[in-house]
Structure 1
Amino acid sequence: MPTEIKNTDTHRRRRASRFATLLGCTALLALSACSGGRETVPDQTATDDQIVMQQNEKASTLMHIGNNLRAKGDLNGAAQMYQKAARADPSSPLPPAALGDTLRHLGRYQEAEEIYHQVLSKHPYSGLALQGYGILLIEQDQPDAAITLLVPAVDDDAADHRVFNVLGIAYDALGDHTEAQNQYLSGLSMAPGNRSLSNNLSLSLALQERHDAAIAQVSSLMTGTEADKPLMHNLALIYGLAGKIGDAGAILRELLPEADVVNNLAYYQNLRSMDPDQRRGAILDIILKSIYLNFSNPDENNG
């Protein structure tokens, strides 16, 4: 089982520890061809810069391959590429963050947690790493540990809107929907229009049985494009939770075959029959399964 983070002071001490990446290079001394015969030393800074550039290019290529494999569903292959990218450029938090999230999707939680510990010891403000580790903890039924991990990060000037998103999910998991909504709104103040934050805010409102507000929130995000499809699924879910089965069915019929529509509507009815805690757990499971971080363009995560 992963080790739960005990308190904020411990986490801050870990965040304070930093590891310098040593990029060593052996320079050969050459005799000058000029008449003085003096020894000259090649520009070491330029040589080191070239090494860094080569590392970045190699890591970028490996990340691209990993992202393509991941998009095709080959998570094991993607994990191998991300691991190689992390070795090629140990100064970047992106490859290990991608590796950690991929291991999470593979169910290799202990390995993922070890990766997140390593990357956060070097990059304590990495929004992607904090987001991924927080999600991992919530998936393992440790929302309190996720909050302990993330609160110091949003209290800092380097706060990242993605961290507010995961904090919101953690508070929703605990049943504190008002605080969850505060977190989503804080994130939206930094990233207005972010679909992940807005969508999770709408589901939090639905969990609080504020269905009209939830419907209005999702509807405000619609653009009339293909990008609306995930939102339409959630809008149908919210209509279903509100008992508006006819409206839910009308939306689903734009997206799914009739057999799937019937199954989804039956599922919504089942959700309505659950007690609040069971219903919350089922909806949070939907949210967590839908989070698939984007490492091709990390600033556009719509988890």
Structure 2
Amino acid sequence: MCRKRARLATVLAPAVLALASLCANGAALAADAQQRAEVRRLDPLARAAFWGSEFQANAADAEAAAGLAQALRGLGRNDEAAEVATKALVVHPDDAVLLLELARAHVARGQGFYAIEPARKAASLSPRDWRPLTLLAVAYEQAQRDEEAEAAHRQALAQAPNEATPLTNYAMHLAAKGDLAGAEAQLRRAVALPSGGIQARQNLALVVGLQGRLPEAEKLARADLPPEQVANNLAYLRAALGQGGGRTWESLKAGGG
């Protein structure tokens, strides 16, 4: 059976079959390009198993490291994702994809300060890519560097005015500052775009609800969420409006895309 690094050995049992197909004669077999393309459609657990095997076979494989970091992040294992990306960057210090994955992992674990440098470097390596800029903006927010966050948000918007992610992230920046009307305007632009998705719609529901328009917020929430989660979110809004207790709305910024 393939030997795996201790930190990667915690992949759950259902992934064993996926790993087994990549092991032979005691060594991992590198997957071909078609297999790698197909694995991107799998769930995070299966992707973690696949890319973990590939990374074990070749720790210098930047694509495998980035895929593994992304999959681990999808499983909520953000510390491990950051560790994998950090190790791979020793070999590939100028790999923009790995730098983005490291920054995303730090942001996902609430440590935006440590995401600033890799996001900055990724932005300098890919000056036409909006993703490092919007990720950098969120990292600045977490580090409580509001002026720099505002500037990075505006740079990302200038770079990609028709992408939902920068609009959504900027909207939540405005909401955090108390500008709910401004946030709503940005989110309505975001949800109207082809790239607009559940995060933009649910953040719009949150912002609408925080302005006291609960029936409209409920309608927006029900478009994507099961009834029990809608009930929890509405309870949170009522609590925020002083109308009763509730649990926290699970609203997430979209990160770097």
1:189 to 1:94, Cα distance in 2 relative to 1, 3 A: farther
Matched AA of 2:126? A
Separation of aligned partners in 2, 1:153 and 1:224: 26
Separation of aligned partners in 1, 2:193 and 2:163: 17
List per-residue Cα deviations over 1:66-105 (Å, max 9, x = no partner). 22322xxxx3321122234457887763331111121233
Structure 2 residue 36 is the aligned partner of structure 1 residue 68:
no
The answer for the alignment partner of 1:149 in structure 2 is: 118
Instruction: State the TM-score, normalized to the length of structure 1.
Output: 0.61
1:227 to 1:100, Cα distance in 2 relative to 1, 3 A: same
Aligned-residue offset at 1:186 = 1.2
The answer for the alignment partner of 1:287 in structure 2 is: 252
For the pair shown, which has the larger CA radius of gyration, 1 or 2?
1
**What is the aligned counterpart of 1:158 among 109, 113, 126?**
126
Separation of aligned partners in 1, 2:206 and 2:109: 24
Identity among equivalent pairs (%): 24
**What is the aligned counterpart of 2:160 among 191, 204, 209?**
191
The answer for the alignment partner of 1:124 in structure 2 is: 93
Matches within 5 A, 1:165-180: 165-180=134-149
1:102 to 1:219, Cα distance in 2 relative to 1, 3 A: same
Q: Is this contact kept in 2: 1:162–1:187, CA < 8 A?
A: yes
1:84 to 1:170, Cα distance in 2 relative to 1, 3 A: same
Matches within 5 A, 1:253-268: 253-256=222-225, 260-268=229-237
Count of residues in Structure 1 that have an aligned counterpart in Structure 2: 222
List per-residue Cα deviations over 1:115-163 (Å, max 9, x = no partner). 2123323433433322221122233332222223333443x35344221
1:139 to 1:253, Cα distance in 2 relative to 1, 3 A: closer
Aligned-residue offset at 1:269 = 2.9
Separation of aligned partners in 1, 2:133 and 2:168: 13
Helix, strand or coil at the partner of 1:68: coil
Q: Is this contact kept in 2: 1:59–1:84, CA < 8 A?
A: no
Matched AA of 1:158? S
Helix, strand or coil at the partner of 1:286: coil
**Structure 1: any 5+ residue segments left out of the alignment?**
1-54, 274-281, 292-300
CA RMSD of the aligned region, Å? Answer: 3.3
The answer for the alignment partner of 1:52 in structure 2 is: none
Instruction: State the TM-score, normalized to the length of structure 2.
Output: 0.70
Q: After the TM superposition, which parts of structure 1 deviate over 4 Å for at least 4 consecutive aligned residues?
A: 84-92, 224-229, 253-260
Greater Cα shift, 96-105 or 112-121: 112-121
**Structure 2: any 5+ residue segments left out of the alignment?**
1-29, 243-247
**What is the aligned counterpart of 2:47 among 78, 87, 95?**
78
Helix, strand or coil at the partner of 2:93: coil
The answer for the alignment partner of 1:240 in structure 2 is: 209
Q: Comparing both chains, which one has the higher relative contact order based on Cα–Cα distances under 8 Å and sequence gaps of 6 or more?
A: 1
Aligned-residue offset at 1:205 = 0.8
